[in-house]
């Protein structure tokens, strides 16, 4: 008995595990790169502009890029969320910026922008992964 293969199944077969890892790494490093790779250029441009902009606004609002201190679980979790932002986080760490200013009125807002930017990028990575697997 023969079965018809759907477009999703064909796409799934076409993506190698190694390529998937590279795609996810690219999507993490440059927000929207995964979508660009998969030919979703309109989405890629929006992610490329919006997510680093959110991260930059967070820094301008004196938000903090959190260190990995798991003795304080919320700080550790915030650090993971920050890392998920990709290149903006790397640049911030390299430039030793993002120390935050606790006394600033906008400190918590800045943290919110920085953390949500990373979490949204994680969703974008997962979406690119799903597209690569042919689920979307």
Which residues contact other proteins by CB under 8 A?
A: 42-43, 46-47, 50-51, 53-54, 57, 61, 106, 109, 112-113, 116, 120, 123-124, 127
Nearer to other proteins, 79 or 124 (CB): 124
| Cα gap 8→83, rounded to integer Å | 31
- As measured in angstroms, the least distance from the Cβ of 104 to other proteins is 11
- As measured in angstroms, the least distance from the Cβ of 26 to other proteins is 17
Nearer to other proteins, 61 or 78 (CB): 61
**Residues 6+ away with beta carbon under 8 Å from 38:** 23, 128, 131, 132
Structure tokens at 102: 């606790």
| Cα gap 119→5, rounded to integer Å | 35
Closest CA to 67 of 104, 98, 38: 98
Nearer to other proteins, 65 or 131 (CB): 131
Nearer to other proteins, 54 or 78 (CB): 54
Q: What is the DSSP letter of 38?
A: T
- As measured in angstroms, the least distance from the Cβ of 93 to other proteins is 22
């Amino acid at each position: 008995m023969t079965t018809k293969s759907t477009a999703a199944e064909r796409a799934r077969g076409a993506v190698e595990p190694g390529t998937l890892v590279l795609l996810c790494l690219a999507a993490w490093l440059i927000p929207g790169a995964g979508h660009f790779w998969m030919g979703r250029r309109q989405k890629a441009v929006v992610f490329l502009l919006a997510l680093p902009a959110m991260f930059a606004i967070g820094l301008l609002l004196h938000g903090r890029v959190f260190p990995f201190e798991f003795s304080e679980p919320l700080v550790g979790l915030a650090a993971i969320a920050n890392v998920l932002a990709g290149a903006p986080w790397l640049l911030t760490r390299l430039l030793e910026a993002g120390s935050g200013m606790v006394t600033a009125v906008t400190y918590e807002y800045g943290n919110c922008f920085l953390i949500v930017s990373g979490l949204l990028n994680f969703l974008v990575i997962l979406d690119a992964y799903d597209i690569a697997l042919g689920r979307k």
